[in-house]
Amino acid sequence: MLSSRTIEIIKSTVPVLERHGTSITKRFYQTMFAAHPELLNLFNHANQSQGRQQTALANVVYAAALHIDKLESILPVVKQIAHKHRSLGVTADQYPIVGKYLLGAIKDVLGDAATDDILQAWAEAYGIIANVFIQVEEGMYAQAEKQDGGWAGFRAFRVARKTAESDVVTSFYLVPADGGAVAAFEPGQYISVRLDIPGEANTHIRQYSLSDAPGRPYYRISVKREDALPGKPAGIVSSYLHAQVEEGDVLHLSAPAGEFVLDLADKRPLALISGGVGLTPMVSMLKAAAEAQPDREIAFIHAARRGDAHALRQEAEQVAAGSPRVSTHWCYSRPSASDRETGAFHKEGYVDLSWLKQVVPTTDASFYFCGPTPFMKTVYAALRSWGIAEERIRFEFFGPSGSLREA
Ligand code: HEM
């Protein structure tokens, strides 16, 4: 346990560290990767180069330090991050490395202001926080391994089928190369794919939501090809998967992870709202809910640019055709002439509160949503202004987590 003096030092220095946040985390990653280049195999370089990941880790350490005397209150946050760490294969022996370079960076950036007392207090606090993560992750590794069809680390899967779902999204059906069973998962969970791409110095790991319902003999991921945009290079991994990976090839996957999952004990009407490729966990939830809860009202709401970019449409419509309680609602921001001719969409423009009120006829529903950050901000603000309680709103960011609640 930390002394009250140490806790006092921690709490009084958090604001200073936050003020220097970007410089500290930049320095932290630079020095850590210089000394441990093998860690470059673990981190997402796209997130790094956009600076997104650079603040997430240190911010959580600062936030946790503020709650150092009641760490149980941050356990939900720890669990969500621990799922990601477990899915990536982060190990206990890597925590002291992160601690060493984070402290070193604090020292470098604060200079003389970083007294021995301050550095000692932060070293102790980091040790306690790291132990919480290590313990939670140990439990998750054990659970992933002992589950039927489960495994620890990465396992070889063969691409049994590759199908284009739209002009930018392609699905991969993945079966264990060892012929064994696949572990069960909860709709909404993701897997990590680890790739050795020819010509790349490091391996790349990416998370993809499982897009089919549980209980199939395969896992399916549906991957959006991230084309180059001004100021943003094309996605190395998604481009490789789309252009190079074919049926019969082998990919390495970690076991399903994640806390953004459908509550199948909940009987309230269900609204599944997605934007773009954020629909992948939603399709899994839709199919699972329709199979397990045939009496549940489900509104499946999706925003796409236009028909060509609208993935898995038929699949969702098939579910709706099989159940009078399931309805589908399409919102296109830039419909094509043929979308107009065929009446392919229900709303033109963007998802907004007045439309949501039309397609979800009750405030008593449970809402799940996923998509690009601006989309998520809009949906979250709309639901809150409609008076939907926080506990009935669940969402997931793709990429490093952000906060909508502060948005
Ligand atoms: C991701 C916090 C230790 C490797 C993250 C995220 C946070 C975080 C907040 C983002 C999660 C998300 O996007 O949902 C922490 C904290 C740590 C810690 C507070 C220490 C107490 C470590 C260690 C490693 C590690 C020891 C391994 C060297 C990663 C990686 C990611 C990640 C590879 C994914 C980043 C990416 O997408 O590039 N961590 N982490 N973390 N963490 Fe940690």
- pLDDT tens digits for range 320-344: 999 999 999 999 999 999 999 999 9
Phi then psi for residue 171, to 5 deg, are: -95, 145
> For ligand 1, atom 11, which residue shows the shortest CA distance?
81
- pLDDT classification of 71: cutoffs 50, 70, 90: confident
Atom of ligand 1 nearest to the CA of 45: 38
Please state the rounded mean pLDDT for residues 352-368. 94
For residue 323, list its beta bridge partners: none
C-beta of 43 in contact with ligand 1 (< 6 A)? yes
Contact between 331 and 347 under an 8 Å Cβ cutoff? The reply is yes
Verify whether residue 72 is a known catalytic residue: no
Q: Give the residue, by CA position, lying nearest to ligand 1 atom 30.
A: 43
* Residue 401's pLDDT band (cuts 50, 70, 90): low
The 3 state secondary structure assigned to the chain is: CCCHHHHHHHHHHHHHHHHCHHHHHHHHHHHHHHHCHHHHHCCCHHHHHCCHHHHHHHHHHHHHHHCHHHHHHHHHHHHHHHHHHHHHCCCHHHHHHHHHHHHHHHHHHHHHHCCHHHHHHHHHHHHHHHHHHHHHHHHHHHHHHHCCCCCCCEEEEEEEEEEECCCCEEEEEEEECCCCCCCCCCCCCEEEEEECCCCCCCCEEEEEEECCCCCCCCEEEEEECCCCECCECCCHHHHHHHHCCCCCCEEEEECCECCCCCCCCCCCCEEEEEEHHHHHHHHHHHHHHHHHCCCCCEEEEEEECCHHHCCCHHHHHHHHHCCCCEEEEEEECCCCHHHHHHCCCCEECCCCHHHHHHHCCCCCCEEEEECCHHHHHHHHHHHHHCCCCHHHEEEECCCCCCCCCCC
Give the model confidence (pLDDT) of 126-139 as tens digits: 999 999 999 999 99
Flag whether pLDDT at 168 surpasses 90: yes
Higher pLDDT, 49 or 79: 79
Going from the Cα of 46 to the center of ligand 1, the distance in angstroms, rounded, reads: 15
pLDDT at 225 over 80: yes
Q: Is 137 a catalytic residue?
A: yes
**Mean pLDDT of the region 141-156:** 94
- 13 CA distance to ligand 1 middle (Å): 22
More reliable by pLDDT, 270 or 22: 270
Strand order in the sheet with 219-224: 204-209, 190-195, 250-254, 154-164, 169-176, 219-224
> How far does the centroid of ligand 1 lie from the alpha carbon of residue 390, in Å?
26
Q: Band the pLDDT of 406: cuts 50, 70, 90.
A: very low
What's the chain's average pLDDT? 92
Query: Is 286's C-beta closer than 6 angstroms to any atom of ligand 1?
Result: no
What pLDDT does residue 14 have? Answer: 87
CB 295 within 8 A of CB 323: no
pLDDT given for residue 231 in this prediction: 85
How far is the centre of ligand 1, averaged over its atoms, from the C-alpha of 349 (Å)?
37
Which of 36, 50, 90, 259 is the pocket-test mutation for ligand 1 (most atoms within 8 Å of CB)? 90
The protein residue with its alpha carbon nearest to ligand 1, atom 3, reads 95
What is the 204 CA–ligand 1 centroid distance (Å)? 15
pLDDT at 405 over 70: no
pLDDT at 56: 79
Please choose from 81, 97, 138 the residue to mutate so as to test ligand 1's pocket, defined by most ligand atoms within 8 A of CB.
Answer: 81
In the chain, % of residues over pLDDT 70: 95
Model pLDDT, residue 57: 82
pLDDT at 403: 56
**CA 115, 121, 124, 128 torsion: positive or negative?**
negative
Pocket test for ligand 1, best of 84, 100, 124 (most atoms within 8 A of CB): 84
> In this predicted model, what pLDDT tens digit does every residue of 86-141 receive, in sequence order?
999 999 999 999 999 999 999 999 898 899 999 999 999 999 999 999 999 999 99
- Asked whether 90 lines ligand 1 (CB < 6 A), one says yes
**pLDDT grade, residue 70 (50/70/90)?**
confident
Per-residue confidence at 41, pLDDT binned at 50, 70, 90? very high
Structure confidence at residue 61 as a pLDDT band (50, 70, 90): confident
CA distances, 165 to each of 70, 168, 312, 399 (Å): 47, 8, 6, 22
65 close to ligand 1 (CB < 6 Angstrom): no
Between CA 312 and CA 309 the distance in angstroms is: 10
Ligand 1 contact via 42 beta carbon (within 6 Å): yes
Kindly give the distance from the C-alpha atom of residue 141 to the centroid of ligand 1, in angstroms, as a whole number. 16
**pLDDT above 90 for 28:** yes
For ligand 1, whether the C-beta of 190 sits within 6 Å is no
Percentage of the chain surpassing pLDDT 90?
79
* CB 204 less than 6 A from any atom of ligand 1: no
Q: Of these residues, 29, 101, 124, 137, which one is catalytic?
A: 137
Give the C-alpha distances (Å, rounded to integers) separating 237 from 124, 181, 205, 244, 399: 38, 26, 8, 10, 14
Global confidence as pTM: 0.93
